Chains A and B, each alone.
Chain A
């Protein structure tokens, strides 16, 4: 198991290095000089040159790459061209919204999807199954920003249980913020839960057709015990894959929901940085997201191995 983890770690580190090169050099080939963008149309060439020196843009490409990587490893992500504050500060603040929101949405989605998917699989072909399939179809089809607006209309405006948006900040206490993130998390979780429930259902149904399920029944387990003790863990692999993908997607993909609820999240930060040619922010945030995705992939790999002993020996 330890060996498996180490091997995965080595291969993921390699992916990380390759990804950092791709991100850095692709952004470098984008035409335009950040210094010129920052100073505007009427800047003097000397001023631009001075700023380029200041930002280190006059150095060789590879030196700058190493500087960027070295900086990131020591926590120095550079300074935002437009905000004039350290990128790390900027990202950290946004992460404080996006990460809890993602985890919150994912927990909700998993808590809904597991029982729903299991019940649908166990009662395959029943009216309940048909109802669940219909509901999840709807959950995938409904645009989540529209669903978010419905939530706001009902819970914020009619019932006045939640505020319609905004984020108080973690210095104002834990529950206030959890409350503020609840409607966005529900809006994000709905389509994810629908997808996950359907994956869960089909994975369990496939597992229930396996020979070892028949063996378990011949041993004297009831249909319900068979599902819980034998089908569930075997059905987890495809479900874990989807959960991993959903985490990566939610982390930066919540931009529309962030906009609906006026949340200062990562998605909005990238969007603004791109429109303002704040390339250092773009580079750093994208790199950070790649890191997060790779980290999650690693965790999902470990979870695979925990779920399935056959994978532990393979590299």
Chain B
């Protein structure tokens, strides 16, 4: 028995085709997964169902729920359906709540606005709903404000708000993408529980195949605004009838071929590094509370080696990274490049040239008014003088990362996310460094692009004997590209060792927790499919 049936949904926005003939049915009380890469039209499909499309949208098709076509309803009727019969939660919990209203008021508003309760009753119900999503009254009273909660807690508030009126359909658009892996596991559990206990249907939109594998009953795969394949989860995962589905699977399981040759030469030596921050005082004359972000971290990284650093948000890895890049002073211990030159905010420029970085966001880390040649060659200012063969070196760096010398005269907005990350790598390579810090460098990329960038990184490492410090929250990626891995928690390295050993036989409880929380596609679903046939 299907709850909602979407028929031939097509959408153009300002004349650009976004969706084409999208048809699917969501059964009552089931989880329907919609997977695809960015720009495939997943989010637009959900916004179309809610009739919350951006201006300039031209939509056709039908979405039938209870014999009514949602698309034919007027705005007033839709307001009665949103939040009441169809609830929705979004990707970014940090900004999804109104910062100036208490969480109690925001949950209660959902009830009040639909006339389901008076303010007093609504607050009582809001309390029940918050309890249901795991925010107990003792630690999370109704008068808390969103900024007092973490991302995972805020997402729980959003869920409480969306399910307050027991909607029959909940749309969750990348609900866990912005969250840590252990938090992700909890939120997915919560959503699955709501479906099972309350008979709600869930439309789960995600880019992550493993998330869908663990939660969804049915799956549809989207590409370029079309559903290319759909079916029950296990059957679809086992068969992979469509070529695109196959490529998506191959990319998400992709491991670059690496033959690392680790030399004895030490590139980076971190010795008992400490860094703490003063927090705002609690009282006017009391002591200043201190946050110990990094508490005595030591490790070495050798030439040609790829070292992973994993940990969840707030574990201190960003602070450690900033210290290693010489952007932040440390209060104890030392960081030395080549095992001898101390790294600090005042280190000499030529030394900095040996240490480069690639950041996460390929959109925010370039000056949009500069041409690629200038962007890529900016690290030249670290040298005493610009090399005479500057232009050749720019061309060489661009060629090495799979672009062409002609790209040097373009501006950054002309490139896709993956190409931009290639340009960031070219920029890191231009001074022929020995060590590159990759700070979540592939985290913002779609799986297929991510696979290509990982291949590129593996190839460059071998040809230049580079050392990589690979910082990521994504265990799959770390496992694919590193030789050794360190697990960080509360400012300390709780476990370190050969990557395969740590993943296969984790010693520390926290490492085990991380690995257990990471969603995986069941191994037997991929049986009979060898790596070669997938690529």
Stretch from B95-103, B130-138, B511-519 at the A interface: B95-103
Interface-facing stretch out of B86-94, B394-402, B436-444: B86-94
Out of B95, B99, B109, name the residue touching A219 (CB < 8 Å).
Answer: B109
Chain B: CB-nearest residue to A309: B145
The verdict on A211 contacting chain B, using a C-beta distance below 8 Å, is yes
Q: How far is the CA of A3 from the CA of B282 in the complex (A)?
A: 10
Chain A: number of interface residues, binned into ranges = 20 to 34
B81, B100, B147, B158: which contacts A215 (Cβ < 8 A)? B158
A interface secondary structure, majority: helix
Mark each residue of chain B from 206 to 220: 1 if its CB lies under 8 Å from any CB of chain A, else 0. Answer: 000000000000000
B52-A214 in contact (CB<8A): yes
Q: Report the stretch among A137-145, A228-236, A293-301 that lies at the interface.
A: A228-236
* Binary CB contact string for chain A from 70 to 104 against chain B (1 if under 8 A, 0 otherwise): 00000000000000000000000000000000000
Cα separation A215 to B83 with both chains bound (whole Å): 10
Quick check: is B114 within 8 A (CB to CB) of the other chain?
yes
A3 / chain B contacts, CB cutoff of 8 Å: 284
Asked if B75 lies at the interface with its beta carbon under 8 angstroms from chain A, I say: yes
Q: List 8 A-B contacts (CB under 8 A).
A: A218-B83, A219-B83, A219-B113, A219-B161, A222-B76, A310-B145, A310-B147, A314-B280
With the chains together, A307 CA to B100 CA distance in Å?
A: 7
Chain A interfacial positions (CB closer than 8 Å to B): 3, 6-7, 210-212, 214-222, 225, 229-230, 233-234, 307-310, 313-315
Whether A309 pairs with B110 at a CB distance below 8 angstroms is no
Q: Is A225's CB under 8 angstroms from B97's CB?
A: no
B80 at the interface (CB under 8 A from A): yes
Which chain A residues lie closer than 8 Å to B284 at the CB level?
3, 6-7
> Are B99 and A214 in contact (CB-based, < 8 A)?
no
Q: Could you tell me which B residues sit within 8 Å of A by CB distance?
A: 50, 52, 75-76, 79-84, 87-88, 90, 92, 95-101, 109-110, 113-114, 145, 147, 158, 161-162, 280, 284
Which residues of chain A are near B110, meaning CB under 8 Å? Answer: 219-220
B80 touches A220 (CB 8 A): yes
A211-B96, A219-B113 given; name 10 further pairs at CB < 8 Å.
A212-B95, A212-B96, A212-B99, A218-B88, A218-B90, A219-B109, A221-B113, A230-B98, A309-B99, A310-B147
Given contacts A222-B75, A310-B147, A313-B280, contact A217 B98 (CB under 8 A): no
Alpha-carbon distance A16/B354, docked complex (angstroms) = 52
Which B residues lie within 8 Å of A211 (CB)? 90, 92, 95-96
Taking a contact as CB atoms closer than 8 A, the residue among A218, A222, A229 that contacts B87 in the complex is A218
Inter-chain contacts of B100 with A (CB < 8 A): 233-234, 307-309
Q: B82 contacts which chain A residues (CB < 8 A)?
A: 217-220
CB–CB A234/B99 < 8 A: yes
Chain A: minimal CB distance from B284 (Å) = 8
Chain A nearest CB, measured from B265 CB (Å): 48
- Known contacts: A218-B52, A310-B147. The answer to whether A315 contacts B280 by CB under 8 A is yes
Chain B's closest residue to A225 (CB) is B113
Question: Is the Cβ of A210 less than 8 Å from the Cβ of B95?
Answer: yes
